[in-house]
A and B are shown apart, each in its own frame.
Chain A
Amino acid sequence: MQTPHSLGIPLTSAISSSAEQDDALLVAASKRGDQEAFALLVQRYQRRVFNLVFGMLQQYEEASEITQEAFLAAWQGLPAFRGEARFSTWLHRIAYNCALKQLEQRRRDKALQAAMEAERLVGGGGERHADAIIESHARQALVHEQLSQLPAKYRIVLILRHLQEMTYEEMAEILTMPIGTIKTHLFRARNLLKERLEAIDREITARTRGY
């Protein structure tokens, strides 16, 4: 199994601006069934799409599968793409919907599993786990952990806003939500991270005082 590893480059630099210009040509060719043109689009966008999906699902293999499905759905749906939105926006929206569907599927599977394993006791130990993390990880790692534990709807707005540096308007288009909702989710997400940082600070203060 492959494991995720950081490339050390920010998401936004992944695509050169000149590349976006001939998107339209590649899209037109792909619409006519040109698989080579579509392969170029796949190469151009797979990293961003994969990271969007991975950001939501937090599982590498699953994200790979869903990314494939998203591109396949895009290929099938291309003849219906009339260029009202930018191709990348349209593609991201498809990927977002595929990931949402997978999360829904996961929730259903989990409910089934929970029903089957109802008698098995789930151990506590959450406190001790948190302690261990504080001892072994840096503050940044804790925020990253918190980020991966956020509900997907919050995580996704953080990723789109601060990693892909999208505007509220672009996010609204991709997530098909009103801008008001985007703001609510984004502010809530950032507040959750902020609260986590506050909690860490309080814990550190308590610790240094010897409680």
Chain B
Amino acid sequence: MRCSEAGRQLQLYIDDRLSLQEVTALEAHLTGCIDCQEELFLLEEAVGYVRTFRMVAEPEDLTERIMQRVAITQQRRMPDFSLLRPTFAELLVVVLLATITTLGVILAQPSVRAVLPFANGHDAVSLFFLNSLHQLLSYGVSAVILALWVIGALLGVFITLVLVGEDVRSEWFKAMMDRLPVR
């Protein structure tokens, strides 16, 4: 064993983290190496001094001061997911909105559209949708795309709002109203 190697082993030795084999090897090295013996001695001395550090007494009124603050502080309640259970009507609305969103996504992707038995451009629904889309696109491509993005985002917001339930919905609505610059 080299001294550089022994240095790290000594640290583990102090913490009782060496295997019996490692201890034997280290002790064999120590018997022949004055430098490492000295190093171990100093390390143990340092640790001994750290151990002579004694616990400091906390201020006598610490508990009282903590409890005074505790008394006026609310615990953070964990979100109660049972409150998020949507009613049947809310669920229906969510399913409807989600269906519309998904249909929109499907119809906007020609490759997806092609493999589906419906909405492939030949049935009434997709023909109506595609016709309206072309009609809209003729007014200006970027404006229509922007409008579709906005609609998609709104659908997402509506789905979330329906799902979270009445309490959160009214809270959100109030917060939105508070933030409006003009009332």
**Chain A residues in the interface with B (C-beta under 8 A):** 2, 4-11, 14, 31, 33, 35, 38-39, 42-43, 46-47, 50-51, 54, 60, 64, 67-68, 71-72, 75-80, 139-140, 143-144, 147, 158-159, 161-163, 168, 183, 186-187, 190-191, 193-194, 196-198
> Can you list 27 A-B contacts with CB-CB less than 8 angstroms, sorted by A residue number?
A4-B56, A6-B54, A35-B70, A39-B63, A42-B67, A47-B55, A50-B62, A51-B56, A51-B58, A64-B62, A64-B65, A68-B62, A71-B70, A72-B73, A76-B76, A79-B76, A80-B76, A80-B78, A144-B52, A161-B15, A162-B47, A163-B53, A190-B11, A190-B46, A191-B43, A193-B50, A197-B42
Measured CB to CB, the closest approach of chain A to B10, in angstroms, equals: 9
Interface size of B by CB at 8 A reads 37
Contact between chains at B66 and A144 (CB < 8 Å):
no
Known: A7-B54, A144-B49. Is A71-B66 also a contact (CB below 8 A)?
Answer: yes
In angstroms, how far is the closest chain A Cβ from the Cβ of B41?
Answer: 9
Dominant secondary structure at the A interface? helix
Flag if B56 contacts A54 (CB, 8 Å): yes
B116 touches A (CB below 8 Å): no
Chain A residues closer than 8 Å to B76, beta-carbon distance: 76-77, 79-80
Q: A6-B55, A47-B58 are in contact. Are A186 and B11 (CB under 8 A)?
A: yes
B134: interface (CB < 8 Å): no
Which residues of chain B are near A159, meaning CB under 8 Å? 50, 53
Chain B: CB-nearest residue to A2: B59
Instruction: Say what secondary structure dominates the interface of chain B.
Output: helix
Whether B43 lies near A190 (C-beta < 8 A) is: yes
How far does the alpha carbon of A159 sit from the alpha carbon of B54 in the complex, in Å?
10
Please list the 10 inter-chain residue pairs (A to B) with the smallest Cβ-Cβ separation, ordered nearest first. Answer: A193-B46, A143-B49, A6-B54, A50-B58, A4-B56, A187-B11, A162-B50, A194-B42, A71-B66, A79-B78
- A39 pairs with B56, CB closer than 8 A: no
Tell me whether B39 is interfacial, beta carbon within 8 Å: yes
Residues of B contacting A67 in the complex (Cβ-Cβ under 8 angstroms) = 58, 62, 66
Q: Is there an interface contact between A6 and B56, defined as CB atoms closer than 8 Å?
A: yes
Residues in chain B near residue A9, CB distance under 8 A? 54-55
CB contacts under 8 Å to A, within B1-30, are: 8, 11, 14-15, 17
* CB of B55 to closest CB in A, whole Å: 5
- Asked whether, in the complex, the Cβ of A140 is within 8 Å of the Cβ of B56, the reply is no
Query: A147 contacts B58, CB within 8 Å?
Result: no
Q: How far is the CA of A193 from the CA of B39 in the complex (A)?
A: 12
If A79-B78, A190-B47, A194-B42 touch, does A72 touch B54 (CB 8 Å cutoff)?
Answer: no
**Closest chain A CB from B151 CB (angstroms):** 38
